[in-house]
Amino acid sequence: MTDDTTNKSETKAQGIARGLTNYGDLAFSRYLRRSFASSMGYSREMLDRPIVGIAHSASGFNNCHRHFPEMIEAVKRGVLAAGALPVEFPTISLGEVFLSPTSLKFRNLMSMDVEEMIRAQPMDAVVLLGGCDKTVPAQLMGAASANLPAIQLVAGPMSTGRHKGERLGACTDCRRFWQQYRAGTIDDTEIDTVERKLASTTGTCAVMGTASTMACLAEALGMMPMGAAAVPAVSADRLRIAEDTGRIAVSLISNGRTPAEVMTQQAFDNAIRILLALGGSTNAVLHMAAIAGRLGLDFSYGRMNELSDTTPVLVDLKPTGDFYMEDFSAAGGIPAVMRELRHLLNLDCVTISGETIGDRIERADPWVDRSVIHAFDDPVRPNGGLIALSGNLAPRGAILKRSAADPRLFEMEGRAVVFSSLEDLANRVDDPDLDVTADDFLILQNAGPTSNAAMPEAGYLPIPKKLARAGIKDMVRLSDARMSGTAYGTIVLHIAPDAASGGPLSLVRNGDRIRLSVQEKRLELLVDEAELERRCSETPVSPQKAEAQRGYSRLYSEQILQADEGCDFAFLKGEGEKD
């Protein structure tokens, strides 16, 4: 009887009394915790308040997040004004370009950090402050698993720089200039000048790359305040959004609204529609599959293709268009895109602020800049920016960003030019004696999730230098790797199963014929079944397969799932919707 009563009282406890460390005497636990909390200068009044945790991913190795101290202070203002106590705490930070072998390998580790720190520390709700590519999905995955009331807040995109009258925004423009440098049209001095101007402010990449895509999808899912995805990092509005986020977080304590109540199956359909209308990052498909998996929800390529066939691209942003995120924000942002798609959206989905998606559309400013956000009946392209392919080369699927590709290459058969690893690619792609033409298919093997490379953004295979110097700007490229959301080209990615796990991609040889059909959504290796069976029997386990012996790398190698399941860990997947 005593134990049951104690457990019930602990469940109802708020603030500093929540989740007490167990010394066998709960009264002593409360006394000790308050004593140590008092050493930080908190008054009794503050210690009696409910607590909003602020999980943030600031780091000296994350340039996108260098303005987080100011944002944290703004969140704290909102929390205090609403009557709770804000307590910030750090988690792992994933600075996209500072991690080896790739940031994706550590996304699941960050999600575990977020989940466990939310569970282990005394808080009644949590603000998730992230931004750089993998930080937002990691936070949403961790929060989905912990299922404590949570709200997302993002860094916001950086502002553009200038070079010889051109606007620059990392990193689509960095790729454009690098192509020119490889082709010999600009020299060492100019590429060095551009390098120092590409990332001119704090914030995430200034284009619709992975960071901005995931920010937009977090808003579309309902996990952020309305209009919060696109506001520039340097804007005073970003700080006002942070303050409002703190206030909303406090309201979650009383209403108990959790991520599982917001991120429903219907909300995921809404978010995929937005992804397709944005022409967003291919990486988002991985992350959405992983977040859905944590909630036990269905995420299928078939459903994505259904939505893609009826969702036009409406947003004209780089890397596929002309404008930048700061233009998108000024043009109306996600609320304006949702207004154009309202007849296709689930308008009754509840957001973290308590209003429905329909409510948000009604409340949003009706003005829109049509040069950036097109009307539904005047789209940038008539169907969605992303599709999934299937066929004997990708039995579990592959992803193509058709809005970033050359339509002239959509229905094509070509000869395979195979690179067996990233090292092989680096060593041979610029060899002047490489047997390759613009009509060939470049194939990269052993860069998927189960490889030692851990699925880097290497799917953007460089055009061989001798072709680049001849003016070739695009050709079909296939791999089990990813590509940056800021990249472009006719690039098939996320081929599953990957080569290192023995998937059909591992059986492709130089000279094989491959057929790509965007219209049919097919990817076929034109080699007869008997020959494939012979190759399979003669092909040993790939030396590129990750088989780590210790630490997180060992956990990764034992638990990593394929791309179609979001590259999450098998033991972290949810069990489905609960009553």
Residue-wise pLDDT for 255-280, tens only, equals 999 999 999 999 999 999 999 999 99
The contacts of residue 173 (CB under 8 Å, 6+ apart) are 166, 194, 198, 318
- 483 neighbors 398 (Cβ within 8 angstroms): no
Mark the ranges of the chain whose per-residue pLDDT is less than 70: 1-11, 541, 576-579
CB 106 within 8 A of CB 113: no
Give Cβ neighbours of residue 424 (< 8 Å, ≥ 6 apart).
none
CA dihedral 405, 406, 411, 417 (to 10 degrees): -80
Domains of the chain (ranges; CATH) run 1-43 (no CATH), 49-159+201-363 (no CATH), 161-195 (no CATH), 386-563 (3.50.30.80)
Task: Mark residue 511 as left, alpha or beta (left: phi above 0; alpha: psi -120 to 50; beta: remaining).
Answer: left
> What pLDDT, on the 0 to 100 scale, is given for residue 3?
44
State the residue for tokens 């007849």.
343
pLDDT at 549: 81
Residue 306: CB atoms within 10 Å:
14
The pLDDT, as a whole number, for residue 11 is: 52
Contact 561, 429 (CB under 8 A): no
Q: How far apart are CA 189 and CA 319, in angstroms?
A: 25
CB neighbourhood size of 266 (10 A): 15
In order of 122, 271, 272, 315, 447, the CA distances from 287 in angstroms are 28, 12, 11, 21, 18
pLDDT at 8: 41
Q: What is the pLDDT of residue 198?
A: 87
> pLDDT digit string (tens) for 524-574?
999 999 999 999 988 776 777 777 789 999 999 999 999 999 999 999 999
Burial class (CB in 10 A: 0-12, 13-18, 19+), 186: middle
* The two three-digit tokens of residue 434, written as one number: 């490489």
pLDDT recorded at residue 341: 98
Token code pair at residue 329: 């924000």
3-state secondary structure of 499: helix
State the number of CA atoms in the 13 A half-sphere of 129 facing the CB. Answer: 38
Mean pLDDT rounded to a whole number for the chain: 94
Rounded Cα distance, 467 and 36, in Å: 66
CA separation for the pair 442, 432 (Å, rounded): 16
pLDDT of residue 541: 67
Neighbours of 164 (CB within 10 A): 9
